[in-house]
Amino acid sequence: MRKWISYPHREGTISRQAHADFPAEAIYEREVGRSGFFGPATHLHHKHPPTGWSAWEGPLRPRAFDLNELPHGTPAPWDAPLVLHNAQCKLRIWRCDQAMTQLFRNADGDDLLFIHAGSGELFCDYGHLSYRDGDYILVPRSTSWRIEPASPTTMLMVETSNGAYQLPEKGLVGPHAIFDEAVLDVPAIDDAFKAQQTEDEWQVVIKRRGALSTVTYPYNPLDAIGWHGNLSVARVNWRDIRPLMSHRYHLPPSAHTTFVADGFVICTFVPRPIESDPGALKVPFYHNNDDYDEVIFYHAGDFFSRDNIKPGMLTFHPAGFTHGPHPKAFAKAMTDPKKFTDEVAVMIDARDALEQGPGLASVEWQGYVDSWKPKS
């Protein structure tokens, strides 16, 4: 891996290093970048915060939704409320407190299940896997599966439509960084799996092109006695993630990429030490990520760059405007920064514009766009 040296143009009063050592007369840095932090970028220094708007009109705006307020207890994943979607990506939030009585098979794409709350057992073509809060469970396309919650379970479901999930290329830091693939767990053909292999009638509900079909078997089709290969359901917990860090430089969100799909990526923000160098920025930088819509689902902890955000909420920042930390968080970071973050959040960056699902407007925090306004 190598690249030719380039000499970016410099104009006016600047810092020599992005996200660090800001000039005293212009402490507000804004990154304008392409291709999700991987393309060309420019850093501008402003006299005023780039999010210091006094009014906003029109449909393009930052939005926040309290997904806790959406309908509870849908019995099956295909009934889970659609939150955001485009042709490549579908986000749903599903709450389940009873064992599924049918199997589900998504023939439209892989599903990634992030367990926001609860615990239980998952049974699938490949065997049996226990789950707990904070687990990512990757379910390959056309896998039959069901869950038996031990406690009420809430999960964020992210479908990669007509695509597949892969791991990011880790480049200079090597394949074992962030998490070693050895921490990935797969289902087992264990006693619990064999015990559910009855001759009772079971149905498999298959989703294809958004339509549902039901196939009935006179036995439980999860009847495998073994398997071998390199395609399977897999599990990794956020607690297994060891984030990339720099004590002198605030890394971009792309450094925290966990999964890559066609047209979007999924990143995981986990607890870490905050930058300790006196000149380093200690909160997310103001940025225009103008090729991607940015979505963050807040799972747990204290969300240090946002006010009035709690677990189970979701923010949506469509491409086209500058976003960044709230004024109070930025001011605190400049004068009395925290030493450690304790937040856990899932970010989805989508290349194509996302649309809101039906019913999402009813749980929107209408005042979110005004939370960056200067206080009078």
287 is in an annotated binding site: yes
Among residues 250, 256, 317, 326, which one is catalytic?
250
Which single residue is written with the structure tokens 């469970």? 137
Phi and psi at 248, nearest 5°, equal -115, 0
CA dihedral 68, 70, 75, 79 (to 10 degrees): -130
Q: Which helix (H) or strand (E) holds 160?
A: strand 144-161
Contact between 107 and 160 under an 8 Å Cβ cutoff? The reply is no
CA dihedral 55, 325, 28, 35 (to 10 degrees): -100
**CA pair distance 244, 100, nearest whole angstrom:** 38
Which single residue is written with the structure tokens 């390199």? 230
Residue 362 CA, chain-centre distance (Å), reads: 22
Long-range contacts of 322-325 (CB under 8 A, 24+ apart): 322/30, 322/50, 322/51, 322/286, 322/287, 322/288, 323/51, 323/62, 323/286, 323/287, 323/294, 324/30, 324/49, 324/50, 324/51, 324/283, 324/284, 324/285, 324/286, 324/287, 325/283, 325/284, 325/286
Is 19 a known active-site residue? no
323 is in an annotated binding site: yes
**CA pair distance 98, 94, nearest whole angstrom:** 12
**CA pair distance 91, 158, nearest whole angstrom:** 5
Supply the DSSP symbol for 314: E
Please report, in range form, the residues annotated as the binding site for homogentisate.
323
Please report, in range form, the residues annotated as the binding site.
287, 293, 323
Catalytic residues, which ones? 250
Please report, in range form, the residues annotated as the binding site for Fe cation.
287, 293, 323
